[in-house]
Structure 1
């Protein structure tokens, strides 16, 4: 569904009126288009550590215009702060204030990205304080940015460098238009496992991916995005959605599997279909889900059980089959769709929030099991996304929900799909057990 307000305030008369009345002025976001530059404008890399020097040298090989010091009044595409050797909160002063001096020169749709270390792995209180300070700094800065600019962070687990393949993969994602609706978030890179694609335009070439709930909405867009990125697809949905599923499958040249994912044999049927039709299985995207909203005082078994069974119990059973299969052992990837409702809660969604919170718990606990075979499992937690479902929300409630994030607008299904495509790629091989929110930095439960 179109956000007509955002369209209005980005026109000449509408922009002037919104400014005079002090109304929100959401920007048109810089979203990925094949063939577009990774970043528009110079990228300044701040920091006086060997990691900063090595990163700047690496980024030069990407054909980016790299600066180690900003030139006054030069419009910048991105600011990268390398904070990988913080030992005391006082160490934040120079790089942070250097960034402050360049913020007014950040282009519309620009990026601010930090690279830091986890506080949990610090050996001294002073270092832990400095590292945790990056979290508060970056999340606050992201709320100050304007004109569609975003701020995100890459957290380097000890033993991981700023120029490891996985760190570079996360950095590339945050720099690109693929991360347009990801704001104020951190991704932890916990190993060197990962490799940048030979062709950045087709990072999933040669991979076979399954997408559940693919007949419409976000699931259909996930299918389109994975296909664009080179994957061969198996699309799954219930028999009642067969016509819609067939239409999406024809569009992306996929095979369709009509299947109730709550069935005890669903996992094995998915594996068998993928192997018989395509010879392998590399990626599974758990997107299928339902809502049955009701205040808990009015909740009953008919509303509670389907949500739990479809949204989380089915994923657990399918994952058991995947982990037991000899066909899911070559750097496999699982990406589950969670929700910000599972983080912050939502009135009338105790069942849905429980199921999506369950997805996040499942992801964290399953991560070590996938790591043992060189694989990963991660979750994406969307906030307000423009779908047929959110279009049915009453107008006033919908408008409030759209504006309650730092970007002051709803995301698109493509924003969720782009994030899933990244987490399914080899570039994300060092990211495991993470939950990445695609919510424009939702201001509730942030």
Structure 2
């Protein structure tokens, strides 16, 4: 779907009108192309006094081929593709001044579509209330930077456990590679937690899913089709699943990526067993399960019939629970496996006329939060993504005024693309991301809706 406003804004007449009237100015976002470097320029790495992560982050970035200028740089005219700051040394509110001292002189030095990443300590792991208070304050900083810097610049906070293991460092590398790259173009204002756990670095970071068997539900179109393409590009053997009515589109996607197609209605009573048998017979396992299948049946709650409620909850939430139960019971998801579910910002903020949908998507968040600790001993991670306004067939049907509001009410002043959701899920699916679990990552351009 074409964003005609964004196209007009990029014209000569459009640029003039935007500046004169102060209209939303959608930037061109830097998205990933295979073979791209992680960042298109130098990355400035700074740290608060006593920070525990700067040295490790520097080694990760240097090994990835990132140029790291002297930390004293940046107060002149030098431009940076990213600013990375280790704030773990801030142990009380007075120490927050160090954030100002680092970011204030460099606020205009970040290139368009640049990146800001702040490294912190999970507040619940802090040694004192004062330290926890200071570390919690970092969220306000990063979310504000994401709204202030503009020009497609994103800002994230990464909480890294105080009790790291080898998996922590591998997953920190995976997280930095994702957040600094074009893969995270429509992700901003997020808090990502990197804990301890099993994580395996790939032999080739351009194919981080090489050899992995990945199931994608709802793969025939939209976000699901983009998912199948991105995961296959990254080396996965994709099992693409959708309902029989979407069989032709599903087959086209599977043939395009060299994957396999499974036609199955996930709400059928025997669907989990049939799916488990297929995966066991054809592949012997499934390394990554991506629960993408979902439907909408919109009505205000007072006008909604029971069938609309039941069908949405069954497809969007209950089917995920049933499939997880069977695959886990039969041990088809091995140690090092991944479960990634698609939620929505509607599950965070709610949405008028979508009580059934919002309930189901909030339930997906609850599923992730409850499963993550339960699956830790089995070395299986579980995370969710929560898309905002994404340009798909569904959003193309939204009335014009509401559609334009959805596009502009975020820090990017534009809708996201299905590939933005797919890239985020791809990162969570990487074997290198095993110590990232229990997260809900919004892919919404830092929407003004919700938290």
Into which bin does the TM-score normalised by the smaller protein fall? over 0.9
Give the structure 2 partner of residue 93 of structure 1.
97
SS at match of 1:101: helix
- Say yes or no: does 1:243 pair with 2:248: yes
Contact 2:312 2:357 in 1 (8 A): yes
Structure 1, unaligned runs of 5 or more: none
Give the structure 2 partner of residue 430 of structure 1.
435
**Deviations along 1:166-215, whole A, 9 cap, x unmatched?**
11211111001000000000100111532332211110000001111111
**Deviations along 1:395-419, whole A, 9 cap, x unmatched?**
1110011111111110000000000
**In structure 1, C-alpha distance between the alignment counterparts of 2:279 and 2:162, rounded to whole Å:** 38
Cα distance, 1:271 vs structure 2: 2.4
**Deviations along 1:81-104, whole A, 9 cap, x unmatched?**
101122111112124321221121
**In structure 1, C-alpha distance between the alignment counterparts of 2:336 and 2:272, rounded to whole Å:** 18
Considering only aligned residues, what root-mean-square deviation do their CA atoms show, in Å?
1.5
**In structure 2, C-alpha distance between the alignment counterparts of 1:90 and 1:193, rounded to whole Å:** 36
Give the structure 1 partner of residue 291 of structure 2.
286
Give the structure 1 partner of residue 128 of structure 2.
124
SS at match of 2:152: coil
Which runs of structure 1 show a deviation greater than 4 angstroms over 4 or more consecutive aligned residues? none
Counterpart selection for 1:112 from 113, 116, 121 = 116
Contact 1:6 1:28 in 2 (8 A): no
Give the structure 1 partner of residue 33 of structure 2.
33
Contact 1:118 1:155 in 2 (8 A): yes
Structure 2, unaligned runs of 5 or more: none
**In structure 2, C-alpha distance between the alignment counterparts of 1:367 and 1:266, rounded to whole Å:** 24
SS at match of 2:262: strand
TM-score (norm: length of structure 2): 0.96
- Say yes or no: does 1:336 pair with 2:336: no
**In structure 1, C-alpha distance between the alignment counterparts of 2:247 and 2:344, rounded to whole Å:** 26
**In structure 1, C-alpha distance between the alignment counterparts of 2:8 and 2:221, rounded to whole Å:** 28
TM-score (norm: length of structure 1): 0.97
Contact 2:8 2:14 in 1 (8 A): yes
Give the structure 2 partner of residue 77 of structure 1.
81
Give the structure 2 partner of residue 417 of structure 1.
422
**In structure 2, C-alpha distance between the alignment counterparts of 1:433 and 1:230, rounded to whole Å:** 25
Is the alpha carbon distance of 1:304 and 1:50 closer, same or farther for their aligned partners in structure 2, counting shifts above 3 Å?
A: closer
**In structure 2, C-alpha distance between the alignment counterparts of 1:31 and 1:417, rounded to whole Å:** 12
Cα distance, 1:267 vs structure 2: 2.1
Give the structure 2 partner of residue 13 of structure 1.
13
Cα distance, 1:12 vs structure 2: 2.6
**In structure 1, C-alpha distance between the alignment counterparts of 2:99 and 2:200, rounded to whole Å:** 29
Contact 1:139 1:184 in 2 (8 A): yes
